[in-house]
């Protein structure tokens, strides 16, 4: 395991570490129902994920005609309130995630989470699932201040700093993840099993994995 050429790894959360689409989909549907919109099939909510909760709800609302900002805002607040109480009902680690995290830790790597989800939500979910202590830091979409979430490099750079890492890599499943890693000048592995907003091999990662079991071999090849 010492042949992994990195001393720290950053992970996106939704669609990379955890399959969260059902809880997110339920929160979106709660808001849609309040706004008089048709609910979306929960499984199709995968196509809405990426960029944070506000963008996710906006995509769902825009698909049904949209709303003025002053009418959208209370729906967004209702979605957040619902999600705060129901964010780990169905969400679970992807197959192989726990074993891979264990192997990376045993090899001496430190790990971080960098997500566009609010830091409080990310910490809540990981804590409820018993995973929070595995990470040196959990950086959310609001951690670095407004306008500094992925695809900006700031959260990835901050994660590397908090890990005191000389050799840092990132793992994610979206254009936001790849762009942030590229701008932060760190290698990036694309999780093809996630909620990719483009075909995985078109995202521009340094490697693509079909399951968590492929992560360590991919890191060795970078």
Please identify every residue annotated as catalytic: 12
Tally of CB atoms within 10 A around 65: 7
* Longest pairwise C-alpha distance within the chain: 56
User: From start to end of the chain, where are the E strands?
Assistant: 8-11, 18-19, 92-93, 110-114, 137-139, 168-172, 188-191, 207-209
Pair type for strands 18-19 and 92-93: antiparallel
Report the SS3 class of residue 13. Answer: coil
The two tokens of residue 152 are 């900006």
């Amino acid at each position: 395991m010492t042949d992994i050429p990195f001393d720290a790894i950053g992970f996106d959360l939704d669609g990379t570490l955890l399959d969260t689409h059902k809880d997110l989909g339920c929160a979106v549907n709660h808001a849609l129902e309040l706004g008089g919109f048709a609910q979306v099939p929960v499984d199709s909510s995968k196509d809405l994920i990426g960029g944070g909760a506000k963008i996710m709800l906006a995509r769902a609302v825009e698909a049904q005609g949209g709303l003025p900002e002053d009418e959208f805002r209370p729906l967004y607040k209702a979605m957040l309130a619902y999600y705060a109480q129901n964010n780990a009902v169905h969400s679970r680690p992807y197959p192989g995630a726990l074993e891979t995290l264990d192997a990376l830790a045993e090899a001496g790597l430190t790990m971080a989470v960098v997500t566009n989800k609010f830091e409080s939500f990310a910490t809540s979910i990981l804590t409820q699932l018993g995973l929070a202590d595995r990470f040196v830091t959990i950086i959310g979409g609001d951690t670095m201040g407004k306008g500094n979430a992925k695809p900006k490099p700031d959260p990835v750079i901050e994660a590397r700093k908090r890990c005191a890492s000389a050799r840092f890599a990132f793992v994610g499943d979206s254009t936001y993840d790849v762009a942030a890693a590229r701008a932060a000048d760190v290698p990036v592995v694309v999780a093809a099993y996630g909620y990719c907003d483009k075909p995985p091999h078109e995202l521009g990662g340094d490697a693509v994995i079909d399951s968590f079991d492929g992560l360590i071999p991919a890191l060795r090849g970078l």
